[in-house]
Amino acid sequence: MIPHYKSIHNRFKINNFHFDKETLYQLAYTLIKEGEEHEKDLGSFLLDWLDDKETIQLTTSGTTGTPKVITIKKQSMVHSAIATGNYFNLHPQDKALLCLPARYIAGKMMIVRSMMLGLELDIMVPTSHLDDLLPHKNYDFVAIVPLQAENSLEKLHQFKKIIIGGAKVSDDLASKLKEIKSDIYETYGMTETITHIAAKKIGEAFFNILEHVSITTDDRSCLVIDVPSISDEKVVTNDIVTILNANQFKWIGRYDNVINSGGIKLFPEQIEAKLASKISNRFFIIGQPDDILGSRVVLVIEGEQFDIDATLFDTLEKFEKPKEVLFVPEFVETETKKINRVKTLNSIK
C-alpha cells in the first residue's frame, strides 16, 4: 500500500530522534531560525512539505539552459520514494545519510524516502567530500554525486548501498569503485522525473528501469519516459539512447552536445571517455563552427595551460581528434555543480 504524503512512518528518525508531523514543524522552524545554511534549506523544505498544498515547486538544474521552476505533486514524490525503496530493498530502520543539499531534488528525495520508508536519516554538511563521516559509523543507504565518490573512495566501504547520480560516472572512477565491496549503482534521472527512473551496477552498460516506468525513443533516438504515477505527461529528454528491451537502455550521449563534423555525427561523451585516463584536469569536448567541416572538435581543459603530449590523442579515431585545445582557469557551473559547457566556452572569447 502506497502511503499518503501527509503520513510519516513511525520509524522515521533524523539524527537519532523520532519525529512526527508536529515535532517536524518545530524542527523546521528551529532550523530556519538557528541552523547553518544547509539546515535552513532542510527546514524550508520540511515546511513546504508539511503545508496544506498538494504540490511543491522545484528548480531544474539548468545543465543545458536556463533553470526553470516546475510544479510537482507531493504524492508523486511519494511514489518515487516507494519505487526506490522497492528497487534497492530498503526497510524501516535502515540507516541513511543525507550529504546532498536539501534545496535540490536529490537532497529533497532523500528526506521524502526517509519519511515514507521509515529510514533513520543522519544529516551532514553537503560538501565535495565526506570528511565529516564518523570512522566507525556505517550506513545502509546513501545518495552522492561522482565528485563526492572520487574524493571519498576510502570511506565508501561504510555504506552498504550507494547510488551515484547528477552526472555520468567516468570509466576511470568506475574502475576504482569496482574495488569497493559496497553495492554501488549509477542512476539515471532528472528533476522532471523526480530523480532516478533507472539504475545500473557500476561497470554495467545498460540501465534497468524502476517499477511502473515505460520507455521509448523519439525520431532523434532520444529517450521518452512515461511514469503515470509521477507525471501526467511523458518526459521527452535530450539523451540519445539505445533501447535493449522494455526494461533496459544504454545511454549514448546528449543530443544537444552532438557534433556534426564533415558529415559524421560525433558524441562528445564517447570521446571524453577515451581521454579520461589521460587528462587529470577537468575537461570536455565541444563543437565549434567550421567553414569546411561544419563543426570542428574542440577540447576545453580547466586550469593553467600546459603542453599537450603528442600521444594524448592516439586512442581517438582521426575524425575524433580535437582540431583545437583551449584552456580556461575555471569552468562555469550550474547551481548543482554541473559543468555548463556553452557558458564556459563563451567565457574564453
CA distances from 345 to 189, 290, 300, 328 (A): 26, 15, 8, 8
What average pLDDT score do residues 86-100 get?
98
- Across the chain, mean pLDDT equals 94
Helix or strand holding residue 139 (H, E): strand 139-144
Lowest mean pLDDT among 183-187, 307-311, 334-338: 334-338
- Relative to beta strand 264-266, strand 13-14 is unpaired
Cβ pair 139, 159 in contact under 8 A: yes
Q: 107: how many CB neighbours lie within 10 A of its CB?
A: 21
Instruction: Please give the full DSSP string across 264-295, using - where no structure is assigned.
Output: EEE-HHHHHHHHTTT--S-EEEEEEEETTTEE
**Cα–Cα separations (whole angstroms), residue 177 to 154, 184, 340:** 10, 8, 26
* Overall residue count recorded for the chain in this entry: 349
Confidence bin at 66 (pLDDT 50/70/90): low
Residue with cell 565528485: 147
Amino acid sitting at position 165: G
- Average pLDDT on 335-343 reads 85
Cα–Cα dist 223/239, whole Å? 6
Topology, domain 258-348: GMP Synthetase; Chain A, domain 3 (3.30.300)
Is 190:292 a contact under the CB 8 Å cutoff?
Answer: no
Look up the CATH superfamily of 13-254. ANL, N-terminal domain (3.40.50.12780)
Q: What is the CA radius of gyration of the chain?
A: 21
For the segment 130-177, what is each residue's pLDDT rounded down to a tens digit?
Answer: 988 988 899 999 999 999 999 999 999 999 999 999 888 988 899 999
pLDDT for 109 beyond 90: yes
Q: Is 60 exceeded by the pLDDT of residue 79?
A: yes
Residue 5 burial class via C-beta count within 10 angstroms: exposed 0-12, middle 13-18, buried 19 and up: buried
Domain ranges, ordered by start, for the chain: 13-254, 258-348
Please give the Cα distance from 43 to 264 (Å, whole number). Answer: 51
Give the pLDDT of residue 167.
87
Given a cut of 60, whether residue 110 has pLDDT beyond it is yes
